[in-house]
Chain A
Amino acid sequence: MITIVDYGVGNLGSIANMLKKIGAKAEVASDPAALRRAEKLILPGVGAFDAGMRKLNESGLTPLLNELVLEKKTPILGLCLGMQLMTRRSEEGVEAGLGWFEAETVRFRFGPEQAHLKIPHMGWNTLEVRRPHPLVADLGPEPRFYFVHSYHVVCADPADVVAWTDYGHPVAAVIARENILGAQFHPEKSHKFGMQLLRNFAERIP
């Protein structure tokens, strides 16, 4: 069972819909018992960093997630803001992040040559896989995913980055360290590419 963590941020139906479509067992849950039962977790999220972190803390789930992810090593996939919450902090706010990655979330800053690039980075962009990882297996040539974000993750250890996308400069699109995974884009809105990525999470992540 893949459990999508419901902490009051955004519409989680799309993720559940896609998991259902690929035949994965999934539920949306906020109660600790359901999270403890989960074989795998998805941490979704849209909107601002502080709002997301506060909702997560108010839900009372932060200590439990720390326990499941850091001690029990339950695989977890953070999506969009969910991935950013896994970093130490964000320039978007003042709240401390979960700090599961040695990483920070920073705003896009473009020099004069990239002044034409719009913020947010919104739309379909190509993934460039940096190192083999089961989460990005079999995506085919030029996999494209749907992104919407104004901030991006910078990892202290570049080896944590599995795949980049290019928007003015290389941007971390998929990150992974042990059981902790993050995707900056929305696989649930990324057509067959997103379906393959979620299938990989369901079937190939031990």
Chain B
Amino acid sequence: MLSKRIIACLDVRAGKLAKSVRFVDTKDIGDPVAKAREYYEQGLDELVLYDITASSEGRGILLEVVARVAAQVFIPFSVGGGLRTVEDCRRVLLAGAEKVNVNTAAVQRPDLIAEAARAFGSQAVVLSMDVRRVPASAAIPSGYEIVTHGGRTPTGLDALAWARRGEALGSGEIVVNSIDADGTKQGYEIGLTRAVAEAVSIPVIASGGGGTPEHLYAALTEGKADAALVASMLHYGEYTVGEIKAYLAKRGLKVRRTT
């Protein structure tokens, strides 16, 4: 039986680790490669490096970070942030990542998903979506709207419709990031996570709001997610990967134990 996955998200700015709180204030909190290694040794299942520099000079630094992570961390990892073309994707995959995360660029040009899936396979293409709760309307019947640019730009796209489209275009997994919950540590947005998980048949990763192991448990059961993304609860040393997994195992979830 498959294990539920715990995925750590490292926001990287100019090669340094940063953690955003509600997407506005970001502060540097260390070396992403050292953090990646620390979590790997704790038994982490998977890693996401998210480049929040998204500038051309930052790009080269990111590829260096990717290569250093690949040389030391033997679990799957994906890279996202500012990937706009198949060539951008190819560069991070060749540097050692397994998967690419596409977000804003895919909203602007959905064919990017299809092109990347054709070039590298669906298993390598993760559609990452930032979602904000809005009043339900004819255009957005679910009451969940896709937003871009770190939550600043509404798109008029319904999150469930976009998730289905992403799957049809060939993405192999979907990260559902709640902008409302992001950085609050008050728990994942369960209703949203579950609605997306029920709308598609590819794995769904809950993101935004995880603050305690109980929050992960809720996302992986009630929220029907296959995996949960964690950031601050690890970055600030509040929990280790082992502590989170021990909790989930105690509650009866299948997780990969390394010790």
Is the pair A123, B226 in contact by a Cβ cutoff of 8 Å? yes
Restricting to A145-161, which residues have a CB under 8 Å from any CB of B? 146, 148
**CB < 8 Å neighbour of A191 from B5, B40, B98, B122:** B40
Known: A122-B123, A166-B1, A167-B2. A191 touches B173 (CB 8 A): no
Q: Across the two chains, which residue of chain B brings its CB closest to A190?
A: B74
Is the pair B3, A46 in contact by a Cβ cutoff of 8 Å? no
Known: A123-B2, A191-B258. A118 touches B201 (CB 8 A): yes
Q: Is B253 an interface residue (CB 8 A)?
A: no
Q: Is A17 an interface residue (CB 8 A)?
A: yes
A190 to B40, CA, bound (A): 11
Name the B residues within 8 Å of A189 (CB-CB): 74-76, 98
Is the pair B96, A13 in contact by a Cβ cutoff of 8 Å? yes
Name the A residues within 8 Å of B227 (CB-CB): 123
Q: Is A47 an interface residue (CB 8 A)?
A: yes
Q: Across the two chains, which residue of chain B brings its CB closest to A119?
A: B201
A191 to B201, CA, bound (A): 27
A138 to B227, CA, bound (A): 29
Q: Is the interface of B mostly helix, strand, loop or mixed?
A: loop
Q: Is A125 an interface residue (CB 8 A)?
A: yes
Name the A residues within 8 Å of B45 (CB-CB): 123-124
A-B CB pair tally, cutoff 8 Å: 79
Q: How far is the CB of B13 from chain A (nearest CB, A)?
A: 25
Is the pair A124, B123 in contact by a Cβ cutoff of 8 Å? no
Most buried by B among A18, A47, A166: A47
Known: A47-B121, A122-B173, A123-B203. A14 touches B226 (CB 8 A): no
Most buried by B among A121, A125, A194: A125
Is the pair B70, A48 in contact by a Cβ cutoff of 8 Å? no
Number of chain A residues close to chain B: CB under 8 A:
32
Q: Is A144 an interface residue (CB 8 A)?
A: yes
A38 to B96, CA, bound (A): 24
Could you give, for residues 185-203 of chain B, a 1 whenever the CB lies within 8 Å of some chain A CB and a 0 otherwise?
0000000000000000111
Is the pair A192, B94 in contact by a Cβ cutoff of 8 Å? no
A190 to B98, CA, bound (A): 13
Q: Is A62 an interface residue (CB 8 A)?
A: no
Q: Across the two chains, which residue of chain A brings its CB closest to B201?
A: A118
Interface size grouping (class) on chain B: 20 to 34
Is the pair A46, B121 in contact by a Cβ cutoff of 8 Å? yes
Name the A residues within 8 Å of B256 (CB-CB): 124, 144
Q: Is A188 an interface residue (CB 8 A)?
A: yes
Q: How far is the CB of B140 from chain A (nearest CB, A)?
A: 26
Q: Is B139 an interface residue (CB 8 A)?
A: no
Q: Is A21 an interface residue (CB 8 A)?
A: yes
Name the A residues within 8 Å of B71 (CB-CB): 17
Q: Across the two chains, which residue of chain A brings its CB closest to B76?
A: A189
Could you give, for residues 76-120 of chain A, a 1 whenever the CB lies within 8 Å of some chain B CB and a 0 otherwise?
000000000000000000000000000000000000000000111
Q: Is A183 an interface residue (CB 8 A)?
A: no
Known: A13-B70, A14-B96, A125-B2. A146 touches B258 (CB 8 A): no
A-B contact pairs, 19 of them (CB 8 A): A13-B96, A14-B74, A17-B70, A21-B72, A46-B124, A118-B201, A120-B123, A122-B203, A123-B3, A123-B227, A124-B3, A167-B1, A167-B2, A186-B76, A188-B74, A189-B98, A190-B75, A191-B40, A191-B74
11 additional A-B residue pairs with CB within 8 Å, beyond A122-B2, A166-B1, A186-B76: A11-B96, A13-B94, A14-B74, A17-B70, A17-B72, A46-B121, A119-B201, A123-B5, A124-B5, A189-B74, A194-B74
